[in-house]
Structure 1
Amino acid sequence: MRRALIGSLALSLGAAPVGVFLMLRRMSLAGDAMAHAILPGAAAGFLVAGLSLPAMTIGGLIAGVAVAVAAGLVTRATALKEDAALAAFYLLSLALGVTLVSLKGSNVDLLHVLFGSVLALDDDALYLLAGVSSLTLVTLAALYRPLVLECVDPGFLGSVSRAGGPVHLVFLGLVVLNLVAGFQALGTLLSVGVMMLPAASAAFWSRRLEGMFAAAVAVGMISSIAGLLGSYHSGVPTGPAIILAAGILYLGSIAFGPAGGLVWRLVPARRHRTA
């Protein structure tokens, strides 16, 4: 439980800010597609070395980057939009990854790859999660201004600097890196949840970017603690419990968040009718 808590907190610290940028770029579904894109690489690592952290991590990283680059090339070379290209590669990757795992492993191995095992994190996995989280925060701090400009006005960024393309590629690399790290704890199907649900919740708690970052990290950490405690006392699987906790906080944010929540939208309307 202690290892699971440390790993989940480290994952929330790095993945939640990346999720905020994905949301602001209107790329939320792209994150989901790329989460599944790492599956064939992880499955290939599983075929070579079994449930080996280095092999599956390297394989997942290569597959995720390859799918992101392939989708970008298809978008630029054809009339197909980026979301459609990612969706096509996502379906292909998911089917290929499940097939590869099934060739050598059992149903238990397949469930481990798809849904992770946060209670089985070892020292190597914790080092990976901590390293990815630290690298993500340092990189986001270094590229903060061009990342924000690209979210707000990519045309202006392109007119004053040529950094737009490289910054976009670095950001996609951070997305893949955090998804690969999250895969070790939550599997390919759930790793994107700790990235996007806290970010979506944060949009209802602050209208400023700094506040959204803080709220997203807070929601991710609270979800991790609540999910672990709920799993311990109820016996439900830990990974899904964490994502369910994040989903409950998201629904609560929709209802009570001060930055556009339903309750706060209704209060001024009632006052206006009374007056």
Structure 2
Amino acid sequence: MSDRFLTPFLALAAALTLATAAPAQDTGTPDDARLIHPGMLTVGTSDPVYPPWMMNDSPESGEGFENALVYALAEEMGFQRDQVQWVRLTFEQIIAPGDKPFDFAINQVSVTPARAEVAGFSQVYYQSDKAVIALPGSPVEGAASFADLRGARWGAAIGTTDLAYLESVLGATDVAVYDDQVGVFLAMQAGQIDATVAAVPTALFATAVQIPEASIVAILPPDAHDEGHGLLFEQGNALIPWVDAALTRLIEAGTVQELVNTWLVADPSLPIITE
């Protein structure tokens, strides 16, 4: 073949090689083609959401620990505030295996070995102790050990680490299971259960607003198999290193701790039960 015919083929081959070898110019920017919707950061959370994690059932407000964290993270990644869009799902839909309609989700999702088998996670951004919530006169009042707690009638929301904690850590039997936390509180008010557990920030809000006749009667240590809360991704999502690097910078800068201090304030005088 003459040089006149060979040259165009060589030029085309070189162009294809360059296109394959060179990374996309928009990788790691808001126009990253790996995003669910390039130009937008799509974030999943539950419906409804609760304080102090997110205030007034409004993720878009940025008022609350987790949505404030998302907007700080989005800015660190190069997104404008109006380039963040929220997708509302049930907690079960968020943690279920399979395709996700979001880039990542934030909803107090605890990182556990079982969940890590079907989903991807960022590093942990927060870990909370558990709080025991009960009404006056509950048999868990004055408890000093796990043994004192086990005989109570417990309830928790399906699919949560609260339920796993009661069964696997506390060793409670016949835990009543409800669709959501509101259902758990209604059951407590109806006298169907004696107590429940929740992350300390959730419990503080619940006993102040949702079920003010109840109180936190004890603090329990975290589950050793619960590494803390992380951002949840579809398994194998290529965005994880980019998002995780931005989260690392926020942690190192003290931004995440500032948000913890602003929104997740615990009472240091609460009694602690360790075993």
TM-score of the alignment, normalized to the shorter chain, above 0.5: no
Range class of TM-score, shorter chain: under 0.3
Who wins on radius of gyration, i.e. which is larger? 2
TM-score with structure 1 setting the length: 0.20
